[in-house]
Structure 1
């Protein structure tokens, strides 16, 4: 379920009050990660470092002090409709990362009334424009002009993220800006489809899963580790009731950085492509196997050229197991355009390895 929150403009004023709701539910701070971080800018937040893995008094508040100046609230409106969400400053020139579904209302507006308003943590407001967006990863880059002394978020690395480590989710859930909740990373590499709710997003993300409480309006805001480094962009929740009692999912920071750099440079990005559609299926050879059954193969696609045919059941892409169509999507997206990879599949009851060179969408 995507959770960009859509409300009428009159309701935005009622939700505009600043509320700092710091969740202190985290247990112990996980082992501190390595010092090397990625960034899209030369300007970085300077963080106090500690050699002790144990939580010191006030650890959460120190992380909040470090990350909060780089977190923004986003209001996207067109006519009588409006969406709210969150974002983070990723470059001192005014570039801001968020979810595509937060701003797609404005991107698809044909009336000329669409506008995006950014509210910074100090209360300052500025209009923003869309630099580029990617419906296949649900990411978008915005830009504000003539805003000085921006605090830029520090980026972590996806390879450093561990299941069980403490994290914070920061953003504007339900229109309440500067909200912080805590939890842990409860799983990695969770294939999560993102689609619908008034957005043109049609993505599957290789998500970081968390139990930190997140709600509508958190979309596009950062998930951070206990050094204040972004490790994901909060994008979806899964819950039985539609509230915050459930699981949250974030786009990994490495994916975010790669897509953001492409959008800033070119205004658009391309993705590796296999050229098939598939569905989940279970088959029995010598044992029970679950994979992605090929339903259609596009003509002259990489899959067609490699000899993959309908009813083949894909079990692996390289070393990554595939048990569903969503997992097939993220396995391919994790590779590079033009990269050669071995696809393991079942055909007529036999396991076959097929070399494929990926194309571009």
Structure 2
């Protein structure tokens, strides 16, 4: 098999025989080392004219890898291709060696402008160091000088492009033992440090004077504006202190409290995990103190309980229960204290509604608390909470609006002269857990307390008068009274002829409007005394004499 002739009409020699990778079927697409010279026709289909190393076969290269075979029937076309892509005239064999040198930078062959040479060229002189590459002729096609000119690349990884990255020590500056010490300059003054060395002292002084003047003007303007905005402010005002009066007028609250408070003590009760506080009033110089029964009842019934009296001076003393009267909520305790302050007892019968009164005690443990009020009512029958089934605690109370709270029990209610007119004992509340004062306080009249306390001190107890009946409060729409429910056989009422269903309207001269008032009216008399009972029986009024 022979190949087509070249444009010169030469015949291929034996070396033109097709071998693997050189020629096949008269037209071959040259590949690899067999292709020695290729010319690109600039078309996008990538056709090329290939010349084998040992023949002159013309090949049409395609990027898709297909080979175009040409037979003898297409010699005319081949000649036309050979004329276009064949070897130039006068050239024997293949094309010259491919230039494998490095790309030459643009404009390398042109000489630099004289102005650039003067500005950036090498300094003149015999010892001048060249900072530029040596100039080469324009036709010098050698590539640029290799940067790695010596063997330093093998020892300096920064100059070796093939050196791998690795971690090294910190980039610290090497210490130089022989380095000369830096000279110490002169110290600068404050003016030189802040303003430099170009400011004259006179200019600095002038600047300070101007700053002071501006500050003074601003202060004056601000003061004037502030004074005009708020004319109520007087910076020059001075309050003259007034000497307080050392003497309180007689009968004042301060005068009364100062004289009575030392005679009122706090009573502290402790019985295991239970305890409470109350108040008491010193009755005698030998340490007898009157208080309420409900304050000391636990101490009287529990031998483990301890009771202490705390005086206004802070002195403490153990207290012992002398006796109690549950029916009137009165009790007496005794302390062994030398010369205590004794309260002055007044007359509750002289009280009138509207009289001023003062309550002194220890509400909620706050010793020496003083509150002021008036007498709201007198002879007010009030039933107290019964501490035992046998007791029938009803008092003919003094009602006051002076604040009385838990802890005030057993404390003093005094008039404006400082005399004790009652012993505080109870308050009326709204219920629902509200235990504070609402202006409804009650005290046991001191006339009753004096009689009962004296009996307790002498005998340890007190005996009340008793009618021997049970009654309830009734009304017929026009009159109120106490209706007898039952009569105890052999009692005072039974002996006097009182019957069940009788309605008691009065005891002596005191009207009876309720069952509680019947109790307190009878207790006003001593046992053995005779009283007159006004009753209504089946619509007929009767008067009965009853010996208590």
TM-superposed deviation, 1:200? 8.1
Give the TM-score, by structure 1 length.
Answer: 0.80
Give the whole-Å Cα distance in 1 for the aligned partners of 2:278 and 2:390.
16
TM-superposed deviation, 1:213? 0.5
Give the whole-Å Cα distance in 1 for the aligned partners of 2:448 and 2:365.
27
1:317 counterpart = 2:507: yes
Q: SS of 1:67's equivalent? A: helix
**Residues 256 and 231 (structure 1 numbering): CA distance in 2 closer, same or farther, change over 3 Å?**
same
| Alignment-derived partner of residue 120 in structure 1 | 311
| Alignment-derived partner of residue 384 in structure 2 | 194
Give the helix-richer structure, 1 or 2: 2
**How much is the aligned-residue C-alpha RMSD, in angstroms?**
1.7
TM-superposed deviation, 1:242? 2.7
Give the whole-Å Cα distance in 2 for the aligned partners of 1:180 and 1:246.
15
On the 8 A contact 1:95/1:143 being kept in 2, the answer is yes
Give the whole-Å Cα distance in 2 for the aligned partners of 1:218 and 1:201.
22
Q: SS of 2:275's equivalent? A: strand
Deviations along 1:155-183, one digit per CA (max 9) or x if unpaired, are: 00122211101100000001111000000
Deviations along 1:107-166, one digit per CA (max 9) or x if unpaired, are: 122xx2111111000000000001111001100000001x11200000001222111011
On the 8 A contact 1:169/1:182 being kept in 2, the answer is yes
TM-superposed deviation, 1:253? 0.5
Q: SS of 1:195's equivalent? A: coil
Q: How does 1:285-300 map to 2 (within 5 A)?
A: 288-300=478-490
TM-superposed deviation, 1:77? 2.1
Deviations along 1:159-210, one digit per CA (max 9) or x if unpaired, are: 2211101100000001111000000001000000111479986411000100
1:60 counterpart = 2:250: no
On the 8 A contact 1:98/1:233 being kept in 2, the answer is yes
Q: How does 1:133-148 map to 2 (within 5 A)?
A: 133-145=324-336, 147-148=337-338
Aligned residues: 298
Give the whole-Å Cα distance in 1 for the aligned partners of 2:509 and 2:251.
42
| Alignment-derived partner of residue 41 in structure 2 | none
| Alignment-derived partner of residue 307 in structure 1 | 497
Give the TM-score, by structure 2 length.
Answer: 0.53
On the 8 A contact 1:195/1:201 being kept in 2, the answer is no
Q: SS of 1:152's equivalent? A: coil
On the 8 A contact 2:322/2:457 being kept in 1, the answer is yes
Which protein is bigger by CA-based radius of gyration?
A: 2
Q: How does 1:121-270 map to 2 (within 5 A)?
A: 121-145=312-336, 147-196=337-386, 202-240=392-430, 241-270=434-463
On the 8 A contact 2:326/2:387 being kept in 1, the answer is no
1:89 counterpart = 2:282: yes
- Which stretches of structure 1, 4 residues or longer, exceed 2 Å deviation after superposition? 55-58, 196-202
On the 8 A contact 1:138/1:201 being kept in 2, the answer is no
On the 8 A contact 1:314/1:322 being kept in 2, the answer is yes
Give the whole-Å Cα distance in 1 for the aligned partners of 2:400 and 2:463.
28
**Residues 57 and 230 (structure 1 numbering): CA distance in 2 closer, same or farther, change over 3 Å?**
closer
TM-superposed deviation, 1:78? 1.5
TM-superposed deviation, 1:92? 0.3
Q: How does 1:13-92 map to 2 (within 5 A)?
A: 56=249, 59-92=252-285
Deviations along 1:194-249, one digit per CA (max 9) or x if unpaired, are: 11479986411000100000100000000001111100000010121431113000
Give the whole-Å Cα distance in 2 for the aligned partners of 1:227 and 1:73.
23
**Residues 200 and 115 (structure 1 numbering): CA distance in 2 closer, same or farther, change over 3 Å?**
farther
Give the whole-Å Cα distance in 1 for the aligned partners of 2:258 and 2:387.
33
Q: SS of 1:246's equivalent? A: coil
TM-superposed deviation, 1:348? 0.6
